[in-house]
Structures are given as structure tokens and as C-alpha cells.
Amino acid sequence: FQVAARIDDAKGTKEHTQRFLAYLREVEDGDLTLGIAMTDAKGDRSKRPHEQGNADTYVHIVERNAQGIVISGTKAIVTSAPYVHELLIMPCRNMTEDDADFAVCCAVPVDAPGITIIARPAGRPGEKSALFSNKYGQSTAVVMFEKVFVPWERVFYAEEWEHSAFLTYNYATHHRHTCIGARAGFGDLLIGAGALMCEANGFDPGSETHLREQMVELIKITEGFFACGVAASVYAAEDPHSKSFMPDPVYSNIGKLLLATQIYDMQRIAHYVSGGLIVALPGPDEDHNPATAAKLADVLRANPDVPYDKRIETARFLEDLTASYQGGWYSLISLHGGGSPAAMKQEIYRNYPIGNKVELVERLLARGLTTEPDRAIGRNKQPGKCCAQGCTVPGAPIMVDMPKAAKRIKKVA
Amino acid sequence: FQVAARIDDAKGTKEHTQRFLAYLREVEDGDLTLGIAMTDAKGDRSKRPHEQGNADTYVHIVERNAQGIVISGTKAIVTSAPYVHELLIMPCRNMTEDDADFAVCCAVPVDAPGITIIARPAGRPGEKSALFSNKYGQSTAVVMFEKVFVPWERVFYAEEWEHSAFLTYNYATHHRHTCIGARAGFGDLLIGAGALMCEANGFDPGSETHLREQMVELIKITEGFFACGVAASVYAAEDPHSKSFMPDPVYSNIGKLLLATQIYDMQRIAHYVSGGLIVALPGPDEDHNPATAAKLADVLRANPDVPYDKRIETARFLEDLTASYQGGWYSLISLHGGGSPAAMKQEIYRNYPIGNKVELVERLLARGLTTEPDRAIGRNKQPGKCCAQGCTVPGAPIMVDMPKAAKRIKKVA
Amino acid sequence: FQVAARIDDAKGTKEHTQRFLAYLREVEDGDLTLGIAMTDAKGDRSKRPHEQGNADTYVHIVERNAQGIVISGTKAIVTSAPYVHELLIMPCRNMTEDDADFAVCCAVPVDAPGITIIARPAGRPGEKSALFSNKYGQSTAVVMFEKVFVPWERVFYAEEWEHSAFLTYNYATHHRHTCIGARAGFGDLLIGAGALMCEANGFDPGSETHLREQMVELIKITEGFFACGVAASVYAAEDPHSKSFMPDPVYSNIGKLLLATQIYDMQRIAHYVSGGLIVALPGPDEDHNPATAAKLADVLRANPDVPYDKRIETARFLEDLTASYQGGWYSLISLHGGGSPAAMKQEIYRNYPIGNKVELVERLLARGLTTEPDRAIGRNKQPGKCCAQGCTVPGAPIMVDMPKAAKRIKKVA
Amino acid sequence: FQVAARIDDAKGTKEHTQRFLAYLREVEDGDLTLGIAMTDAKGDRSKRPHEQGNADTYVHIVERNAQGIVISGTKAIVTSAPYVHELLIMPCRNMTEDDADFAVCCAVPVDAPGITIIARPAGRPGEKSALFSNKYGQSTAVVMFEKVFVPWERVFYAEEWEHSAFLTYNYATHHRHTCIGARAGFGDLLIGAGALMCEANGFDPGSETHLREQMVELIKITEGFFACGVAASVYAAEDPHSKSFMPDPVYSNIGKLLLATQIYDMQRIAHYVSGGLIVALPGPDEDHNPATAAKLADVLRANPDVPYDKRIETARFLEDLTASYQGGWYSLISLHGGGSPAAMKQEIYRNYPIGNKVELVERLLARGLTTEPDRAIGRNKQPGKCCAQGCTVPGAPIMVDMPKAAKRIKKVA
Ligand SMILES: Cc1cc2nc3c(=O)[nH]c(=O)nc-3n(C[C@H](O)[C@H](O)[C@H](O)COP(=O)(O)OP(=O)(O)OC[C@H]3O[C@@H](n4cnc5c(N)ncnc54)[C@H](O)[C@@H]3O)c2cc1C
Ligand SMILES: Cc1cc2nc3c(=O)[nH]c(=O)nc-3n(C[C@H](O)[C@H](O)[C@H](O)COP(=O)(O)OP(=O)(O)OC[C@H]3O[C@@H](n4cnc5c(N)ncnc54)[C@H](O)[C@@H]3O)c2cc1C
Ligand SMILES: Cc1cc2nc3c(=O)[nH]c(=O)nc-3n(C[C@H](O)[C@H](O)[C@H](O)COP(=O)(O)OP(=O)(O)OC[C@H]3O[C@@H](n4cnc5c(N)ncnc54)[C@H](O)[C@@H]3O)c2cc1C
Ligand SMILES: Cc1cc2nc3c(=O)[nH]c(=O)nc-3n(C[C@H](O)[C@H](O)[C@H](O)COP(=O)(O)OP(=O)(O)OC[C@H]3O[C@@H](n4cnc5c(N)ncnc54)[C@H](O)[C@@H]3O)c2cc1C
């Protein structure tokens, strides 16, 4: 939407914006669920879209006429594809002029002619030990488009390559922001289950120092990246074209980067406090084996106050979340979902007001400030925005007259 | 103040509160600066105050009469002591009944009879190479009290040991919260100076991948703990007794813990991007050595656009902040100032609503919820506070009816 | 064996040693494979064996007579139990006098009367996508003993509780030492597969900086803990009782601790360099789907020189090793196999010659050396052993006359 | 020397080798100390030597005649320069043909005409609180060469640019290998002093869990990189040209990289276990202040068994090593001395037998092995060297016939 408004503003039209709003109303009215089809198959990662040997590694426009456009290509990883009503197609990187055909954003119903969806099963249905993912889960799919027709009402832009980067980055920021909340929920589950496991083993993590240290580490990680989500909301800014709100990109990306890389530490801690039994205790098949079930329940109870079935249940819950295909899925969606860590790092650097920090130090060193426009590290100087709510650009040191600055800095110590 | 209100509420009086407010007015009217004298000498760390061989290792009350109290003992680390008007004395740990004499909070002028201040110099005055700390710096002092009289107007509590823990923890939370901002300022300086150093060496950190990765890491650390400060403010809660606001203790302590332990990583990165010259280039004595100054300026310039004096100045600025006594001082105040990391970890665990996370998992496992009041991991269940602003206790999963819960959890993935 | 010799030396007998050697010969002659049954069910972790409500949570002696002993109890995690000929039973912790019944080390055939084995399947047999673990895998089992008779020839000790700690620690050191090699092999697989995945995606990790940094990190971790294994062998010491060789316990435990905690980082890196497709690409069922197989192979190829089937094969290999039940199994055996990280940390501290380091600093400070025998930090002073090869106890600073010491220290800088 | 032999072997001469050996004899006979002058001023880091605006940013040959060569330029960081007899000049990077003038390796006495040394003071002489560095310390200097004549006997090579990389890398490997030992000594000091500080504060780190965890972490870091030094020696290889021994480059560089980046963690731990007093306790000027010395000694004692002067002495020792200019110097020489971390990472990747790991995985996947010579990830395949001692190239998986390979791999689990 922000991009539609931006294109309209650029072209002096209103049509892109209206088209998008009309579609949004339709989605809401029909209570449609959408799948996000952004990640192309991408082919050779070291080449741009138009350089690929096989053009179908990216979704692209093969024809445009009065009714609409015709697209072909492959989106490689679409979560929930088989369960949604429509797919929202977006480009997965910024496009250059040569890639104009690949700069397309539109919506298509999943059953449009020419679409083939090849999906993995969602979660681990039917697996008795999968105490979480036999109920909740997601499917990922490859979606192949072969000459799929999309009417103009559902085309939000086509070949406006100059704006594709903007959409990609913006969507990614939104996505990463929501990821933070999602993965904090995952952290909640590990914190709760970890505490239950400690209790079942006979410990109060609050009084066994080394277990408490681990639990605090888990809390620190979870709430640490959640705090970045909070900060991203606090420093959200209004988009000048569409008037909708954007979470702050620096904090969104830092939060996502923190969770992406620390999901593995979260697993380590969950395993640390629980013990090896998560993968080693008897599976659900043994629960009703008349020869051994009773005896097992007896000798594998630990804390006398927690019955065996509750202990093993928590162990399987943790196995499911952290030591199964589903656990791997969570790791990878955390690491790569919404873009790889390398992409986030670039976004952080691109958006960070490094110029202001440079200026701060130059003032402290009482040097003449360089003002050449081309200075690489001088780019990205953001004016300290002082608004009614008192917020400023995150990370932008406020520039005041030197004597006062001196006082402020004193507090640095 | 919060404690005064709490004591008054407990005793049904108003006197503690009024005394505190009167003092506050005096401080504001007189524009007095206060030093915080909290950390006692502490003697043997494995013993409580009343068990110490030498009672003077903690400040304590030796006499109380109609006019006031008389105190003796030692505060070991008081920043700025020689430069302030008054010292605000607070206990540095929670006290038990046996330690009642040590539970004292009061204010004394620095020149009260019986006070001896033994201070280190502030910063590195006169050191030519100390480009930051020859201007800005702080002194730390040992303050010894020998039978110092304090009139009742300046005694905020004396022997109310039951409330001492509350004050200590609250002050610490406030302190840690402000630390976050202070150290983020330190991060700003390193980011700015690191970028300047890269430029002086001939690089744009934005386009040299490994330098950009380091700069992004520095930004991630700095803004990562700053975000915790933001979250602590967002989730600040009103103190029921005094009606003043308290930053959220979980986020304050996580932010402080993150900065305490990562200040060393910040130094590493500043050194990484700058090179070994920070400690190895010629000192200021050489700047005006007629025999060599010109030649040095010539051969030690790197980027032709940045003159030698600017390069060396930035190098010395970084040496001062990260590779000098002052640099060590910053590390230690970050690590231990406002309490050691171990203290923060305890506070995080003590305040975290772990009971809610346990409940969440138990609901997902569809087990009967245990409600025994004594359950160690069930403590600290905080009601999801739903207020107009839509805020909740941080980290408290919101409990909804099961079917909806299921949907919410789905988003976890 | 070392323990048998130790017990014999203590008792002035030869019988324990001979019994063990006789058994060893039998095992070698019969080419028998042994399973190690060390980890008891353990019941309430906060209580010692004799304090457990249910004595069967630990294996213990219920009767001893002229022929042998009778044992009952539960070993909770025994790798390969269903596939071995005999189980070697050892205590899993040091025992006190009260726990004498639990101090038992003996061997029993898996089919001895009274033994029940409850096992999980080994690896992921039959799973088409499990490109490693459908061939190679291990089963873990719970083994319950109910009045199992063991003749004296197979009892290596019974109730010699004073020596149980020694065995447990020694075995653990050996085990951890071998673990290091095993997990380095796992690292080899990830390094090789990671490089193949980069190549399949279109990159030479040697020339794409951020991928090279990750690969180097993976190499650093793998070879870093492997080096500890090498050092443990170099500093191996002869056991004075049995004359067999023991790897150095400090390096063995450090190596195991490094791999235990870093296995999660190894996964993260493998995922980082490979991309999200590890868990998201089509499964093996699609490989022969006539409707889509050819098209998929076409659009999901990346590097034009690497055919799709090679790319997907490597992706599944990595999924199997790092994002499946088997992947979780590797994490947990790395973390807890051979004892939990907490156990290793204790062993490191217990064996480290910290007294020598204290002495070194005291000499530099030119203080009179304290020689009180009870000084906690003075314990564990190991004589610098100087042998023909010039090796010394690892970590033991060599004590020389002061002037020379000065020179040596100079090199510290 | 290795390079001299290599050049001779390349040229079919013996002269370089002989010249070097003659010089070595002279150094030994005269008991001369040498300073290593490798790091050039380097000018703009993004340009090669011959591209610099000012040629004097690198040492280079300005003239060659029958007697010898004449050199000019600047070496930026030379440890001990003012205290040595001779400087050994080496190039600090690999040189291309265009840089031939800069490929020079020779020795000059420090008092040769045309040499100017601009040095910083060594250590912190005269500083009373510098309990280590007022005795032991090193000076770093800038050394400027202006038309310095070097006779042929002391020129080890000149303009043999093809061999310069070899020397630089080899010397760096040797240097990094010795660094490991030096920094392990630094670790020893911190371990000893940390234990003394804990004791002085009233703790036995062995029984206070969180302090023990930190001490174990410090031991793990120190012995972890020391183990890499051990492994580098174990896998040392004979240089084919000179027959002298080279430590293994992969382990040398990993060890150096580990210490370079973890020196900061070592400081953090030393500070953690000691408390804030390291930078905050009274300085040496107070030790003999008659007004306060006795009282201070009384109230600042902690453990009653450790007198104040011993406590403060240890605190100052730690301040000196970790929170002073000297502390910063140790950080930077650890991080950059012997080359920056980026240089080590490149060396690790360049020397690692990644091709063997790829081959291992390809065999497991039972694919035809690719043998194209140009394959980027296939480079660096090292034959498994099997010698009497059974050692192999580090990290090179041993290739055996497939069935056996299977068994070996099984142990991976
Ligand atoms: C479980 C899961 C669910 C997902 N759900 C969705 C979804 O619903 N909709 C959707 O659109 N996407 C989805 N994604 C896709 C996700 O956005 C991608 O995984 C992510 O963008 C990374 O792309 P990739 O997996 O193709 O990895 P690659 O792009 O192949 O990356 C592999 C490695 O190569 C590096 N690399 C790639 N290109 C370059 C380059 N040009 N230069 C240097 N380095 C490079 C990367 O940094 C990374 O380290 C999902 C992913 C996962 C794992
Ligand atoms: C630069 C600087 C400025 C400061 N400024 C001020 C100021 O203005 N006002 C003020 O009041 N304070 C100030 N402080 C003091 C600061 O709050 C203390 O440093 C901090 O509380 C730690 O106390 P300590 O230094 O005595 O360390 P210690 O308490 O001796 O701690 C050393 C180690 O022992 C551990 N330990 C201590 N006690 C126990 C125990 N009972 N059980 C287990 N482990 C234990 C700690 O966790 C730590 O790891 C400042 C400190 C610094 C470094
Ligand atoms: C895949 C796999 C294969 C294995 N194969 C074998 C095998 O072949 N033979 C064999 O004998 N064993 C085997 N083990 C068992 C392994 O040795 C144990 O997992 C390990 O010793 C930890 O024990 P636990 O799993 O019971 O965890 P627990 O002991 O329950 O530990 C859980 C947590 O509690 C802590 N804790 C436990 N006790 C205490 C205490 N008293 N005080 C404070 N904290 C405590 C631990 O540090 C840990 O953090 C295997 C384990 C795995 C995972
Ligand atoms: C205390 C100390 C003592 C020393 N003693 C000696 C000695 O006795 N003899 C001696 O010869 N040397 C000595 N050195 C020098 C040491 O080898 C250098 O510090 C090291 O090689 C790094 O060079 P630099 O300091 O010029 O940093 P720079 O080379 O300026 O590096 C700064 C940053 O830029 C990066 N960078 C540099 N060039 C490039 C490039 N082309 N592309 C991408 N990134 C790049 C680096 O990776 C680093 O991150 C000493 C150094 C120290 C700190």
C-alpha cells in the first residue's frame, strides 16, 4: 500500500492506491487468508534475475494486455500455500531497469489456471509424540506459475522497478517486526516448559544457581529481542505517502537479527536445563504396553510430586519444539524467514544515522565539521525530529550548543 | 521517596513522606548536587553486616536521640564525592532484623564533622593524549564516617530494616535504567569514532564487508540494550504508595546486564575496525618535535583526504575511551556500577512472571492446572493488566479461552 | 581397569585386576560388543541414591552370596542396548558410604534373566529423506534390571564405594576424550556439506566474504575442540596403579565442554550458509512425481553446473543432520552425553592446578608465599614435571628462580 | 630462512641461504637482540604499495649497486625498537610484480645513518600503582628510514616479489604460534590474580557456584587456545626447502584468532570476579598518608585472613593488567599483533583442506566424485599423510574403503 501511494505520488495518479484499497476491502469482506509469495527460486544466487539461464527461476511478466498481465516463474518457499485463498506475489529483492519484467506485485487465487503447488505436510500430524506440532503447524510449498493471467484490478504494480526495492524493504521490515512477536511466543513456551522440566527433575530453578543462570539467559534472550520490537513500535514513523505507520527499520531488523541467531542458543538452554532424556526416553508406543508401562512410570518418575506421565509429556513437548523436524523448521524460519541475516545487517547499516554519530565525535574533538555531500560516513544524517510525543529518530544524538553538550556528555561516564 | 511513602502507609503516618519532600525542595532550591553513597566497604562478602568482625565496614547507627542519629562506617565507592554538596546515604543490600542498625537512609553535607573523603583524581586532567577524559571525568572516593551527626529532618529512615530491600532494589532499578542511556551514549561515541577511524584508514565501512559487519555488531549491541531501556519505560508502572513511576524491573535489569557484559565486546570492535595504531602511534609529545613532526605527518597519513592530525586525534580519542585507565573505569562502572551482574540476574528471575509461562504450557498440554500456592515455579503469576493504553506486564502471556489460544499459538510458528 | 588396580593396590590383592583382565580377554576373543550402562534413572535429582523414595531408580545390589551378586534397578539411557552382546554396568556418580549398595561395576549379557530393554528405533530407517541416518544411526534404551544374577567373575567391584568416584570420573574423561573425535567427524560433515551447498547455490565460499567468515567460524569451532583432544593426548599421564594411560582431564573436559555448547552454533552456521531451503524444498515423494519432477528439477537448480538432484540431496543430508529428530539427537548427545556441562565444569575446576597460578602471581608480587595446607585456592599445586620430551603438566607455570622468571614474563607482553 | 632456501631452490643457487646462515651465526655470536620491523605505515589501506601517493608509507628500495641497496620508507609499529641492536625488515603483505621495489627483507643496525626512531615509553615506569608494568613492559616505535644503506651480506632478498607472500605468511604463522604461548601466560596471571582477589573478598571460588563458573570460563579460554598451540606443534611439518620445521598454519591461526578475540572476555571475567574496587580503591599515594592509612587498612580489609595491603596489591596488579594503558596495549597486541583477525581468517580458509571434507560427503552420498581441477571448493585436497606415529594432516578425514568408512562414521553419533 505504501508503495502504491508512492508510485501514485510519483506519477501524480491515484489509481494504484485505489486498486490496493479496493482489494483490501475485498479481502476483509470475504475474510480471505493470504499467503505471501515473495521468495523466488532465485537460481544462481550470484546473478541478477535477468542474467539467469532459466527465467522461470523468478516470477516475471511474460505478457501485458488490456485485461491484465500474464506471469510465469517459481516462488520457492511459500508458507501455508495450500491452505490460503489467495497468494500475494511480491518481488524478493530490489530490481534494476534490466530486471523490469521481474518487478511485479499482484494477487492471485490459489486455484488460478497455471498454478501448481507442491507442498510439504504441515506440522507432524498423527505423530503421537509431537505434542505441539500434531495440533499446530505450517506447510511450506513451492509454487510454480505457468502463464497465469492476472486482471489489472489485482496488479499493484508491474515493471515499476524503481519502486521494487522500497516495497521489498518495507514489507521485510513489517515482517521482521511481526516475527519478533512470534518468536517471543516461542520463547515463552521454552521458558514455561523448561521450568516444568526442572520441576519434574526435582529442582526449583530459582534456588539451584546454575539452572537459574540458564533460565535467566533464556529470559534475557527472549525479552531482549522483544524489547527491540517494542522500540520499533515506539519509534514507528508515518509514511509520508500513504499515511500508514511503519515500525522503525533499525530496531525491527536488530530484533529480527537477534532472534535469528539466538534461536539456537534458546534450544541449547532448553536442552541444558532438561537433560538428555528429551530424545532418549521411551516413545508414545510404550505408554500402553501392558508389560512395562506401570514399571516404567514408576522408575522414571523423578520428583515424587510430579507423575511420570506429566514428566514425559513435557519432555515430548520439548522434543517436538527443539529436537525434531519441527524444531529444525523453527530454527530455519527464525534464521532465514523474512530474509537472511546478511540482508538484515545491510538494512541496519543502510538505515542507521551513522552521520550523526560522526558529527557528535567531530564536535567533541572541536574540529571543523566536514560537510562535503559525498562523504561516505557522513551519509544518513537524520535531523533530530522533535515532535509532540517527544520522540526522536532512534540513535540520533541530539545536537545542542556546545556548553550544554559538555554537560550531557559528562553523564556518559 | 517511594520507600518513605511505603513506610508511612505501613505505619499510617505521613511524616516520612513529608520529610523527604521537604528535603527534595531544599535540594532543588539550593541547586545542590548529590552523591550517592550506597556501596559499603562490605568487609567479608560471605558474611552479613552484623556478622562482620569490624562493624565499620558498613555504615550504621551508633546512637539515636531527640535531635537525630549518629552514624559511623565506610562507603567504599562514591562517584564524584569530592565535588558534590551532599551525600545521600542508602543501604546497599536488604537487611534482616539483626542488621537493623545498618538500615539507614539519610543525607549529610560533605563537610559534616566526622567525614573523611579519600578520592582518586577525576578523569585524566592534564594528559595531553586523553582527548576525552582530560575534559570530562569522574572521581571515585572512599568516604569514612566517624560519629557523624544527622538531624531528623535529613533522616529518611533508620532501622526500618523491613523496607530496606525495597529501597535497594528500587533505587537499583532506577539506576540501571539510567545507566542504559549513559552507556548508549558511550556506544554513540564508539560508533562515530570507529567510522572516522575507518575513513582515516582509507575505507568506507559501508562497502568493505568485514568492517561493515563489525560496525553493525556495534550498532546491534548499543541499540539492543537501548531498546531494553525503551521497553522499561513503556512498561513503567505507577508505585501504589508514592504515585511516582518505576521503570519495569525486568527490562531495566536485562538492559543493564546486556551492557555490563557487552562493553568488552564494544571495545573489541572499536579496536578491530581501527587497527593497532591506537596504542602504538606517537604520543602528543611528538606533535611539536621540530625534527620529526612534519615528516611523521606525511608518512602516517593514510587516506589522502584526511590529514594526519585528524587521524591521530581520533586514534587518541579511542585510546582514551578504550585503552587507558579511563577505558578500564568505563568497563568496570558498566560491569559493576549499580550492582554486579549476579545481582541483576537475581532481580530478573525474581521479577519475571515465570508462573504465567508455566500456566501457558500447561494449558497447551491440556493438563489440569496446579494451583498449590507453594509451588516454586508457580510463583510470580501476574495478572495480564489490560489498560486503556493496551499495555500488559512484559512477558506475561495473555490468557484467553482455549480455542482462541490455539489460534494465537499458531502464529508462534 | 584402573580402578581394579587401584582397589587391589589399596587392599594388597591382585584379584580385581586379574578378573578384569580375564574379562577383557574374553571380550576380545569373542569379539563381543559392549554397551555402557552408566546413567541411572536417578529419580529425584536433588537427592542421593540412598535417599530416593524408589530404590529402583538406581541400579543396586540386593543380595550377595558365594556365587555372585544380585542386582536390581534402572539404567535410563543406554546407547545401542538392543544391539550389543553385553552391558557394562558402572555407577554414574561418586557414592558415599550410605550409598555403598549402589557402588557396583559389573558386566551382564543382554539376555540375562531379569533384564528388560525398552528401546527407540535406531536412526531413521526407511525415511527416504534421511540421507545419513537411514543408513547410520543409534538406538537408545531404558534398561530395567529385576533381580539379575551376576557371577563373581563378572563383578569388578561391589560396594567399594570409596573408589566409585574415581571410576566415574576416569571413565567420563575417557568418554569425553573420544567424544571430541566423534564430534569433529560431525564437524567434517557439516564443513563438507556446507561447502557443497554454497557451490550448489552459486557461490565459492572462498570469495564471498560473509560466507567465508561463516565457514571459517565452523572450522574454528571444529578444529578448536579437536585441538583440545590433541592436547589431552599429548599430556596424557600414566596411571600409577594400572600403568595404562589416561588422557589429561583438563583438556578432555574443556574439549567436551566446547563441543557440547557449540554444537548449536555449528547448526546455525550450516543453516546460515545453506539457506531456508533445507526444510522447505520438496520432499523425496516428489522426486518421481511425473507431473512435476522434471519442471522442479529445472526451476530449482541454482548453479547451472550442479544438477538439481545433487543440490536437493545435499539439502536433505543437511536437514537430516541438523533439522530432524536425528539432528536433535546429535545436539543432545553432544550436550549431555558423557555427563552434563555442569559436570564437566566441576571436573575442570577440580583438576586445574590453580594453586600454581596463585603462586606465580604471589611471586611476581614478591610476597611471602602462604603455605597453609588448608588454603582453598592453594590446593591443586602440581609439581612441574620435567621429562625428556620437555613436557609439563598442562597449565602449570614452571617455577624458576626469580631473575629468570622476570625474563620469561617479559615475553608475556 | 625458509624463504632464502626457497629462492635458492628456485634459482638453483645457494647464496641466499648461506647469507642468512652467516647472519644468524653473527647474531648468535654477538648475542644481538633483533626487533621485527614488518608493519609498514601502509598509507591508504585500500591501495597497494605502488599505488600510494607517498611511497614512503612503505619501506622500499630506492637504489641498488655493487655494495648493497639503499632503502627508504616507514615501519609504523616496531615493538622494542629503541632497545634492540638490529632491526629485521620484512614486507608486511604479499607483493605483486608492480610492487617489486617493496619486496625487501634485510637487517640493519638501529644506529645506521638515516634511521629515526620515535618511541613511546616502555610499560609504566615509575607508576607506583602499576604493579606489573613498572617492572616489565615494552615500547613501540615508528621507525623512519631515509636513504639507509644496507650491504649485500645483510640483504636476504630484494625485489624477489614472487616469494614475499611466502615469507609474510610463514613468519606470521611462527609469530602467531609464539603469541599463543605468550597470551596463555597472560591468562595464567589473570587466573592466579582472580583467585587471589576472590579469596581477599571472602570467597573460595571453588564453592561459590557463580564465581567458579567464571573461573572455569577463564580457564577454558586460556587452555582452549593453548591447546591449539599444542596441536600446531604436533602437526608441525618440515619445510621441503630449508628442512626447518613449521607449526601447522591452521591450528596456529585458529589459536591466535581465539586469543585475539577472547582477550576481552578474559578482562571481563577478571573484573567480574574481582568487583568494582579495581579502579575505585585508593591509589598508592594514600598508602603512607598518616591521617588515614591505618583506618583505611582497617575498614577496607574484607576476608579477615588477608591483610589490606595484600588485597589492594592484587587489585592494583589487576588494574595494571586490565584497566590501564598497559591493559589496552595487551588487548591491541593480542587483537592485531601478528596481523589483524581478518588476516588470520583468510589464512585459515586458504590452508584448510576443505576439498577433503567435500570429498568425504560426496562419498557418503555415493555420488561420482567431481574431479575438475578448477572447482573452487575442491582445491586444497591434502593427501592423508600416514607416518610412523600415525599422524595425519589436521582436519583431513582419512579416506578408507567404503564399507569401513561406514563403520567409522557410525562413531560420529
Ligand atoms: C520455514 C520457512 C518459511 C518461509 N516462508 C516464506 C513465505 O511464506 N513466503 C516467502 O516469500 N518466503 C518464505 N520463506 C523464505 C525466506 O524468506 C528465505 O528463506 C530467505 O529469504 C533466504 O532465501 P533462501 O532460503 O533462498 O536462501 P539463499 O538466498 O540461497 O541464501 C543462502 C545463503 O547465501 C547468501 N546469499 C544469497 N544471495 C546472496 C548474494 N547475492 N550475495 C551474497 N550472499 C548471498 C545468504 O546470505 C545466505 O547466507 C520461508 C523460509 C523458511 C525457512
Ligand atoms: C567506577 C565505579 C563507580 C561507582 N560509583 C558508585 C557510586 O557513586 N555510589 C555507590 O554507592 N556505588 C558506586 N559504585 C559501586 C558499585 O555499585 C559496586 O561496585 C557494585 O555494587 C559491586 O560491589 P563491589 O565492587 O564491592 O564488588 P563485590 O561485591 O566485592 O563483588 C565481587 C564479586 O563477588 C560477588 N559477590 C559479592 N557478594 C557476594 C555474595 N554475598 N554471594 C555471592 N557472590 C558475591 C559479586 O557477584 C562479584 O562477582 C561504583 C562502582 C564503580 C566500578
Ligand atoms: C543421545 C544420548 C545417548 C546417551 N548414551 C548413553 C550411554 O550409552 N550410556 C550411558 O550410561 N549414558 C548415556 N547417555 C546419558 C548421559 O550420560 C546423560 O544424559 C547425562 O549424564 C545427563 O543426565 P540426564 O540426562 O539424566 O540429565 P539430568 O541429570 O536430569 O540433568 C538435567 C539438568 O539438571 C542438572 N542436574 C542434575 N543433577 C543435579 C544436581 N544434583 N545438582 C544440580 N544440578 C543437577 C544437570 O546439570 C542438567 O543441567 C546418553 C545421553 C544422550 C542424550
Ligand atoms: C602493541 C602492538 C605491537 C606490535 N608490534 C609489532 C612489531 O614488533 N613488529 C611489527 O612489524 N608489527 C608490530 N605490530 C603491528 C601489527 O602487526 C599490526 O597492528 C597489524 O598487522 C594490523 O595493522 P594496522 O595496525 O596497521 O591496522 P590496519 O591494517 O589499519 O587495520 C585496521 C582494520 O582495517 C582492516 N584492513 C586493513 N587493510 C585492509 C584491506 N586491504 N582490505 C580490507 N580490510 C583491511 C583490518 O582488517 C582491520 O580491521 C604491533 C601491533 C601492536 C598493536
What are A369's three cell numbers? Answer: 565539521
Question: What values do phi and psi take at B18, rounded to 5?
Answer: -65, -40
Work out the percent of chain B whose per-residue pLDDT is above 70.
84
b or e along D43-77 (b: 16 or more beta carbons within 10 Å of the residue's beta carbon)? bbeebebbebebbbbbbbbbebeeebbbbbbbbbb
In the beta sheet, which residues pair with residue C79?
C140
Indicate if the pLDDT at residue C197 is higher than 90: yes
Indicate if the pLDDT at residue C133 is higher than 60: yes
The per-residue pLDDT for range C157-182, each reduced to its tens digit, is 887 777 777 777 777 787 788 888 87
Q: Select from B139, B215, B279 the residue whose CB has the most chain D CBs within 10 Å, as the one to mutate to test that interface.
A: B279
What are D384's three cell numbers? Answer: 592423508
Q: Select from D138, D215, D277 the residue whose CB has the most chain B CBs within 10 Å, as the one to mutate to test that interface.
A: D277
Q: Average the pLDDT over D351-370 and give the result.
A: 84
What are D73's three cell numbers? Answer: 620508507
Cross-chain Cβ contact A140/C331 below 8 Å: no
Strand, helix or coil for residue A306: coil
- Name the closest-CA residue to atom 30, ligand 1: C275
Cβ–Cβ < 8 Å for A206, A251: no
Closest residue to B411, CB basis, from A182, A255, A410: A182
Q: Which residues numbered 121-180 in C keep a CB inside 8 Å of some CB on D?
A: 131-132, 135-138
The CB density around residue D110, as the number of other CB atoms within 10 Å, is 18
Show pLDDT as tens, one digit a residue, over chain B (413 residues).
Answer: 666 666 666 666 677 778 888 888 888 888 888 888 999 999 998 899 999 999 999 999 999 999 999 999 999 888 877 778 889 998 888 888 899 999 999 999 989 999 998 887 766 666 666 777 767 777 788 899 999 999 999 998 887 777 777 777 777 787 788 888 878 889 999 999 999 999 999 999 999 999 999 999 999 999 999 999 999 988 888 777 777 778 899 999 999 999 999 999 999 999 999 999 898 888 887 888 888 888 889 889 999 999 999 999 999 999 999 998 889 989 999 999 888 999 999 999 999 999 999 999 998 887 765 666 678 888 767 654 333 333 344 555 544 443 333 333 333 33
In the beta sheet, which residues pair with residue A157?
A105
Cα separation of C181 and B297, whole Å? 54
**A39 contacts on C by Cβ (under 8 Å):** 276
pLDDT at C401: 41
Cα separation of B392 and D380, whole Å? 57
The complex scores an ipTM of 0.88
D48 compared with B169, residue with greater pLDDT: D48
Q: Are strands D86-89 and D34-37 parallel, antiparallel or unpaired?
A: parallel
pLDDT at B48: 92
- Unique residue bearing C-alpha cell 510458528: B413
On the 0-12 / 13-18 / 19+ scale of CB atoms within 10 A, D39 is buried
DSSP string, B170-209: HHHHHHHHHHHHHHHHHHHHHHHHHHHHHHHHT--TTTSH
Cross-chain Cβ contact A272/C41 below 8 Å: no
Q: Average the pLDDT over C29-37 and give the result.
A: 85
**B325 contacts on D by Cβ (under 8 Å):** 279, 319, 323-325
Indicate if the pLDDT at residue A397 is higher than 70: no
The C-alpha angle A304, A309, A313, rounded to 5 degrees, equals 120
**D145: alpha, beta or left? (left if phi > 0; alpha if psi -120 to 50):** beta
Q: Among C199, C203, C267, name the best residue to mutate to test ligand 1's pocket (greatest count of ligand atoms within 8 A of Cβ).
A: C203
- Name the closest-CA residue to atom 46, ligand 2: B340
- Name the closest-CA residue to atom 34, ligand 3: A273
- Name the closest-CA residue to atom 2, ligand 3: C333
Indicate if the pLDDT at residue C113 is higher than 90: yes
Closest CA to C184 of A323, D119, D409: D409
How many whole angstroms from C337 Cα to the centroid of ligand 3? 7
DSSP string, C202-231: T--TTTSHHHHHHHHHHHHHHHHHHHHHHH
The per-residue pLDDT for range B325-359, each reduced to its tens digit, is 889 989 999 999 888 999 999 999 999 999 999 99
**Ligand 4 atom nearest D37 alpha carbon:** 11
Sign of the alpha-carbon dihedral angle for B347, A232, B206, C214: positive
Cβ–Cβ < 8 Å for D347, D253: yes
**B213 contacts on C by Cβ (under 8 Å):** 210, 213
Enumerate the H helices of B281-370 as residue ranges. 293-299, 308-322, 325-336, 341-351, 354-364
Cα separation of B404 and A157, whole Å? 36
Chain D's closest residue to B198, CA to CA, is D45
- Unique residue bearing C-alpha cell 543380595: C63
Average pLDDT, chain C: 83
A60 compared with A27, residue with greater pLDDT: A60
Min distance B278 CA to chain C CA atoms (Å): 17
Indicate if the pLDDT at residue A59 is higher than 80: yes
Average pLDDT, chain A: 83
Q: Which residues numbered 178-217 in D keep a CB inside 8 Å of some CB on A?
A: 209-210, 213
- Unique residue bearing C-alpha cell 630506492: D62
From start to end of B6-128, where are the E strands? 34-37, 60-64, 68-79, 86-89, 104-109, 115-119
Question: Quick one: how far is CA B210 from the chain centroid?
Answer: 32
Work out the percent of chain A whose per-residue pLDDT is above 90.
44
Instruction: Answer whether D168 contacts ligand 4 (Cβ < 6 A).
Output: no
The CB density around residue B333, as the number of other CB atoms within 10 Å, is 23
Q: Average the pLDDT over D275-292 and give the result.
A: 86
**Which structural domains are found in chain A, ordered by start?**
33-159 (2.40.110.10), 167-347 (1.20.140.10), 352-410 (no CATH)
The per-residue pLDDT for range A280-337, each reduced to its tens digit, is 888 887 888 888 888 889 889 999 999 999 999 999 999 999 998 889 999 999 999 8
pLDDT at A387: 34
